[in-house]
Structure 1
Amino acid sequence: MASANRFEGKVVVVTGSSAGIGRASILRFAKEGASVVVHGQSKEKLESVKKDLLGLKVDESRILVIAGSLEDEATQNRLIDETVKRFGRLDILINNAAIPGKAGCDPNSMEGFDAVMIVNVRAIYRLIQLATPHLEKTKGSIVNITSDLSERPMTGSMPYSISKAALNHLTRNFARLLAEKNIRVNAVGAGLTETDFITRMGMPKEAITHIFTEVAKTIPLQRASNADEQAEMIVNIASPTNTYMTGSIVFNDGGIRIGN
């Protein structure tokens, strides 16, 4: 059983933590003693997460909220700079934020491709570069959130699937590069999860219902996961008690890649 305070004294940044898997993860880190940096774009959702953290008796001094889009380098800078300014250190970076496509355009268009790659790959690459000097001091950890779609085609939205495949190899490359600095880099490949992420793909309500009923039946475990199940994996991989894993892509997908 995990210690109730294994993250005490640690500082954790979770991008895209105003909802879904990121939100579930930030709450778990805080419950176990971490000071946390909450990030998102919706003021309402960010305020809701902060309210939940305070409801867990997390002292306000352990909470930093940063709003902004990750396609903006200024937001990337603030995530690292304001974290270190506020807490004096950085121990764990969870690269969770991603977009399924660009609203109002064909997902497979070049415009859609560029939008997805900027957020899902380039922003993560740059955030890791910015965070490295601070993580080196703490012998920290990075966890990138990828997807089972990194290993399966998704012709309806190819850039998303391609971006997650790129993220897998980005993870391996940075793990090799940063091993000499004692920074661990791993990834969690989340499977179909009950969050609003698919809704943001712009699919009709009927198509979304079909995914969570009929498509979910093709998963060997016969269901979608929930955000807490993904957060459990993320937190355990990021844990300071997990000292020897690096360069690994751990799929938490109900077995979808092995078929039914």
Structure 2
Amino acid sequence: MRHLRNALVAVTATIAALLAGLLTAPSAHAAPNFKAPFPCGQSWTYSHHSQEVRLALDFIKNGGGTAGQPNLASAAGTAYRYYEANGAGNYVVIDHGGGWKTYYFHLSSFAISHGQSVSQGQTIGYTGSTGNSSGAHIHYEQLYNGAGQTIHINGQSLAPYPGSYGQRSITSDNGCGGDGKYWVDTFADAPVFASPTSTSQTGTLYKATNYVYCKAWGREIRDGAGNYNHWWLKTDPDVGPANQYVSAYYLSRWGNDEARDNNGTVIPDC
């Protein structure tokens, strides 16, 4: 009987341990180190309106010029683009994994494709006033498992939220090129070369949002409409070996003999 009683005690303890494991709530996934959703070095003021859901904040640029400014991914993830006529307008949702998402509303246009992987600091769209909006601004949210969270930037809470603009501001360190990469949009598939003066094509950089490392002066690329560029950007092409050069002529923004990233930062010399 003693052996039977000991066996029953052991079985009961095992069952209790299993039940305890089943009933224990799953641990929360740590939030990514979210950064501000606007370009490096810019100062934006923010506010919260009572009618906004999910602890959202609205941002406008100090000194004006909010419209058309890039919206940057707060953290790496998979970006999805949507449209809601009477609400968010053009908007992007980035799934960062572990239950975390960020939302970016009222974009004037998109800079990514649906389901595209993005890096922290990558341009995902441009600030606008589409949908139910009275003026250009970034409507920004951080969600965990579908529930709005108090917004944190670089691990610091922005609460308590101000009720109007001009009371509190933050300066962005997002997209500052700390990883040595500068993100640029190209308007067409572009040939790449081993050097800024080479004429033998070594590969191709596809039309997309691409990263480059630095710039160097080289031979001129010119079209019949008077557009030209002497700058060449070191990059890793989609086809061909790494560390090749593509002409800054293929950048979707900027003008003749300019070489800037999507945030307007001048790409450094190689």
TM range (shorter): under 0.3
The answer to which structure, 1 or 2, has the higher relative contact order (CA under 8 A, 6+ apart) is 1
Larger radius of gyration: 2
**The structure with more helix, counted as a fraction of residues:** 1
TM-score scaled by length of structure 1: 0.24
